[in-house]
Amino acid sequence: MRGLEAVPTLMDTSRIPASLPKAPRQFDELPGPRGVPIFGNLLQIDSTRMHLQLEQWCETFGPVFKLRLGKRRVVVVGDHALIATALRDRPDGFRRTTRFEKVWTEMGLVGGVFGATGEDWKRQRRMVMASFDPAHVKSYFPSLQRVALRLVARWQQAARRGAEIDLQSDLMRYTVDTIAGLAFGAEVDTLGSDEDVIQRHLNRIFPALSQRLFAPLPTWRWFPSAADKALVRSVAEVNAAVDDFIAQARARLKADPSRRVHPQNLLEAMLVAADEPSSGITDREVSGNVLTMLLAGEDTTANTLAWTIHLLWTNPATLARAADEVHRVCGDSPVPTLDQIAQLDYVEACAHEAMRLKPVAPQTGIEALRDTMLGDVHIPKGMVVIGVMRRDATSERHVTNSTAFEPERWLGDAAPAASSAKRLSMPFGAGPRICPGRYLALLEMKMALAALLGHFELASVATVDGLPPRELLQLAMAPVGLTMKLHERQRVGVEAA
């Protein structure tokens, strides 16, 4: 062998390929930030801004790099094509991380389709998708209209007083009331009063879950703080509310058998699907999916609406075009009809563009169920992969004028740009586990934006210090400290108040 290496001209080079395939890169070969013994990079992570740290490290180390979080080895991926490949390889190739499942269960939360895997996921997915059947959605719509009228009434009172509106708080009330009515058939009116009991309990869960996922040590097990004790009480209250929603729904189905043919809300539809002899769905799994809807339907939609309103305010021409569309399509309707909602193409484009720039899930963690490859990187079974969801969607390498708020790029007359934006931006995930509630979430967003733009003119949307709102990650990413002032529009016809 040494002779051949020393005299390469004696080799028959005609049979050597122009380029030999490269061996897969292993974890230890990847670049990444330097850590410390035992903890690795864990002490460098700030869970409230981790998405920003990962985006910055992508610029420093490239679109694929490594982290060590204590004993856990993590591959971070900022390339949209590789992320989409991994997300499409669910539920067979990847799953939610076992750490997420452990923390979720330890907090006393019941699992649903969000965290289920394998056959459990397939059973629950069928039940959940049945509840989102288009025919069912039409029957849910009046509940959404009623909540929108309450939102208008609340904002009219604030406008008449010249009061500042805590945007995040009011939008959380809107989403809680909507989910309770639309999904569970329960009249929870947090918009009509200053009582926010269920909202206060819900708002403790995601921040605690996010913090515990990346905590160096599980101090809550040994030295529970006042916040940890409050969390235990809140989880108990939320679980009790879930049980009550289910009991009420079963009572309605028993009292009125016609509801089994025409369910009036998502929960009734889920129970009808779960009661099918071949469903294999348990009451506990129904509870888990009710909880999932309650949690996921509150923060994500409210945060996206807050970001959209902020971006509209900072882009006056876009705001004017969106308002003109609402006035043209909806006229003086107190709130839009389902047909009118379907015609609000530009308003929907505003929501999509807000989700591209300010995704409420800017990172996603999954765990490999088998040895696999992502690009040229070997991912062994059990390894965690974190997708950095916003990097390519806001990069000039892929999107022209990438940091600008331009809803036009989502419209049909901008076909290439729209196709690119849809491919790069994945706010609802991708593949078989794409969010089943995405259509209803868009309905909810369009309804709130139409109610705002149809009844009011924005006087201001700002933070206390006048700076752009800070991005706060607590599982979902929210703007910090946004307030809004409104002026009522002069309208002809029936007023919501």
Joined together, the tokens standing for residue 460 give 């201001």
- What are the residues whose beta carbons fall under 8 Å from the beta carbon of 381, sequence distance 6 or more? 368, 369, 370, 371
pLDDT tens for residues 410-456? 997 655 555 566 778 888 888 777 777 788 889 999 999 999 999 99
Give the whole-angstrom CA distance, residue 490 versus residue 398: 43
pLDDT tens for residues 280-309? 777 788 888 888 877 777 788 999 999 999
- What are the residues whose beta carbons fall under 8 Å from the beta carbon of 443, sequence distance 6 or more? 137, 141, 144, 341
- As a whole number, the mean pLDDT across the chain is 87
pLDDT at 9 over 50: no
Bigger pLDDT: 199 vs 455: 455
Give the whole-angstrom CA distance, residue 114 versus residue 293: 9
In 3-state terms, what secondary structure has residue 99? helix
Instruction: Name 460's bridge partners.
Output: 485
Instruction: Name 168's bridge partners.
Output: none
Residue 7 binned pLDDT confidence (cut-offs 50, 70, 90): very low
pLDDT tens for residues 306-363? 999 999 999 999 999 999 999 999 998 999 999 999 999 999 999 999 999 999 999 9
Bigger pLDDT: 170 vs 4: 170
Percent of the chain beyond pLDDT 90? 56
Amino acid identity at 55: E
Q: Whole-angstrom distance between the N-terminal and C-terminal Cα of the chain?
A: 90
This model's pTM is above 0.85: yes
Residue 83 binned pLDDT confidence (cut-offs 50, 70, 90): very high
Angstrom CA distances, 305 to 226, 360, 446, stand at 32, 10, 9
The CB density around residue 157, as the number of other CB atoms within 10 Å, is: 11
The CB density around residue 1, as the number of other CB atoms within 10 Å, is: 5
- Catalogue the E-assigned strands of 397-466: 456-462
Closest C-alpha to 426, from 94, 85, 75:
85
Average pLDDT, integer, range 258-268: 85
